[in-house]
Amino acid sequence: MSSPADTKNPQEAKPKPCCVCKPEKEARDTCLLFNGQDSGKCDELIAKYKKCMEGYGFST
C-alpha cells in the first residue's frame, strides 16, 4: 500500500505555464500589441505558441 508521500502529484511534474515558451509568447504578445487580434497578422505566431504549450501538456 502506498502512502500519499510515495505518489507524486502530476501537477508537480508539469512546469508552470509562465516558465515555458517564453520566446513564442513574447513574439505573440508583441504582434498582438501592435496589430490587434482581429488583424489576422498574428495567427501564425498564436498557433506556434499554442503548439509549444501543448508540448508541455497545457491545453489551449
Is 31 annotated for ligand binding? no
Is 42 annotated for ligand binding? no
Distance of CA 10 to the CA centre of its chain: 17
Among 1, 53, 4, which residue's Cα sits nearest to residue 24?
53
Binding site feature residues for Cu cation: 18-19
Binding site feature residues: 18-19
